[in-house]
């Protein structure tokens, strides 16, 4: 008798490329489409060997899938997946690094310029018919500025690389000094914030980095300071940021991510010294397709016995054979 095809659970509606890739190859179940998700989980839970997700996976869910082997996360950030819990249960977690690095770095640079030069505000000024009455007010500038990067990982480095061509000084803070970069290291975030005019947040989310950018860091950034966040909303104390923006403790903020997405506090959205984007860092057709393909490739590689392509640090792959 032929072996039954491996069974996969898609936790929510995924990119079309993921949705189509497994049909006919594996047994695919879709939790988001189930009339009774609880009943579906109870029925198929023990048969599921791989989970494709873009969102939260906790221990309670893993416990409902006792034969789960692989969690393939759509996205490089996997703070919503309990990777330590997965490791304890012998489950491998994969993410989608590299394929989105340039896209997110491009967007970060766009946010820096948009926030500093007030590009969306200038666009609104023109459309609202103010230009014939008076020129748009002069803005801050990137000239002579120092830019700080919190988290000099793959995306942080790509941002720094782009910034080099803008002729600015680059500083960074992270868990450790990196020997192979020409940028100035600060061993505290406070020290970095004091030294720079623009602070770009691009470190991983999760409990370890929660509210790292707090009132004291914003105060240190100062009245000419700009905060850019393309990482996770949880890294920034949003209430402290809103207060700092309102009081002029810092000059402005460009944010692609928020604490409670897709909800953005009304008092933050009401401020004119912000540029706010709906988490679009990786959201181009090209890059989302590449991320989806990597999710698929991880699953296929796993079921073909070749191991995961891009396991996360908490669940490194050690082939037994
Ligand atoms: C996600 C992201 O892909 O990769 C990440 O960590 O934040 C995005 O690129 C997005 O959340 C997918 O919905």
* pLDDT in 10s for each residue of the chain, 321 residues: 567 889 999 999 999 999 999 999 999 999 999 999 999 999 999 999 999 999 999 999 999 999 999 999 999 999 999 999 999 999 999 999 999 999 999 999 999 999 999 999 999 999 999 999 999 999 999 999 999 999 999 999 999 999 999 999 999 999 999 999 999 999 999 999 999 999 999 999 999 999 999 999 999 999 999 999 999 999 999 999 999 999 999 999 999 999 999 999 999 999 999 999 999 999 999 999 999 999 999 999 999 999 999 999 999 887 765
Mutate to test the pocket of ligand 1, among 55, 77, 153, 293 (most ligand atoms within 8 A of CB): 77
- Residue numbers annotated as active site: 232, 261, 279
What per-residue confidence (pLDDT) applies to 295?
98
Ligand 1: centre distance to CA 77 (Å): 6
CA–CA separation, 280 and 31 (whole Å): 25
Residue 1 Cα to ligand 1 midpoint, Å, equals 41
Q: Whose CA is nearest to atom 1 of ligand 1?
A: 75
| Model pTM score | 0.96
Task: Give the integer Cα–Cα distance in Å for 77 and 96.
Answer: 8
The closest alpha carbon to 244, from 192, 191, 199, belongs to: 199
Which ligand 1 atom lies nearest to the CA of residue 74?
A: 3
- Asked whether the beta carbons of 27 and 8 are under 8 A apart, the reply is yes
Query: For ligand 1, is residue 281 a contact (CB within 6 Å)?
Result: yes
Task: Name, in order, each residue with C-beta under 8 angstroms of 162's C-beta and a sequence gap of 6 or more.
Answer: 105, 106, 109
pLDDT score of 271: 98
Is the CB of 74 within 6 Å of ligand 1? yes
pLDDT of residue 321: 53
For ligand 1, atom 12, name the residue with the nearest CA.
75
Three-class DSSP category at 113: helix
pLDDT for position 4: 80
Q: Tell me if 258 CB under 6 Å of ligand 1.
A: no
Classify each residue of 152-179 as buried b or exposed e, where b means 16 or more C-beta atoms within 10 Å of its C-beta: bbbbbbbbbeebeeeebbbbbbbeeeee
Neighbours of 218 (CB within 10 A): 24
Q: Look at strands 92-94 and 146-150 and give their pairing.
A: unpaired
Number of H helices, E strands in the chain: 12, 12
> What is d(CA 17, CA 246) in angstroms, rounded to the nearest whole number?
43
Residue of the nearest CA to atom 9 in ligand 1?
Answer: 282
Which residues, in sequence order, are CB contacts of 320 under 8 Å at separation 6+? none
Please report the pLDDT score of residue 3 as a whole number. Answer: 75
Go through the chain and tell me how many residues it has.
321
- Orientation angle between helical segments 154-164 and 101-116, nearest 10 degrees: 50
């Amino acid at each position: 008798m032929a072996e039954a095809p491996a069974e996969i659970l898609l936790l929510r509606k995924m990119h079309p490329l993921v949705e189509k890739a497994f049909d006919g190859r594996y047994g695919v179940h879709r939790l988001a489409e189930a009339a009774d998700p609880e009943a579906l989980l109870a029925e198929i839970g023990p048969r599921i060997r791989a989970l494709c997700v873009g969102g939260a996976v906790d221990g309670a869910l893993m416990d409902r899938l006792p034969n789960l082997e692989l969690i393939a996360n759509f996205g490089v950030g996997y703070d919503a997946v309990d990777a330590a819990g997965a490791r304890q249960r012998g489950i491998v977690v994969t993410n989608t690094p590299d394929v989105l690095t340039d896209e997110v770095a491009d967007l970060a640079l766009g946010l820096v310029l948009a926030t500093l030069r007030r590009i969306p505000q200038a666009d609104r000024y023109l459309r609202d018919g103010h230009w014939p009455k008076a020129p748009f007010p002069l803005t801050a500038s990137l000239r002579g500025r120092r830019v700080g990067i919190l988290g000099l990982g793959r995306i942080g480095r790509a941002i720094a690389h782009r910034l080099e061509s803008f002729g600015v000084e680059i500083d960074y803070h992270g868990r450790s000094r990196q020997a192979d970069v020409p940028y100035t290291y600060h061993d505290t975030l406070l020290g970095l914030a004091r030294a720079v005019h623009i602070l770009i947040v691009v470190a991983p989310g999760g409990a370890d980095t929660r509210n790292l950018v707090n009132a004291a860091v914003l105060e240190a950034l100062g009245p000419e300071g700009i905060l850019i966040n393309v990482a996770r909303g949880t890294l920034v104390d949003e209430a402290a940021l809103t207060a700092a923006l309102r009081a002029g403790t810092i000059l402005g903020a460009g944010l692609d991510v928020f604490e409670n997405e897709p909800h953005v506090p009304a008092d933050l959205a009401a401020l004119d010294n912000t540029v706010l984007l709906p988490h679009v860092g990786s959201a181009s057709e090209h890059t989302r397709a590449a991320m989806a393909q990597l999710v698929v490739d991880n699953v296929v590689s796993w079921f073909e016995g070749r191991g995961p392509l891009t396991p996360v640090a908490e669940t490194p792959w050690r082939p037994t054979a």
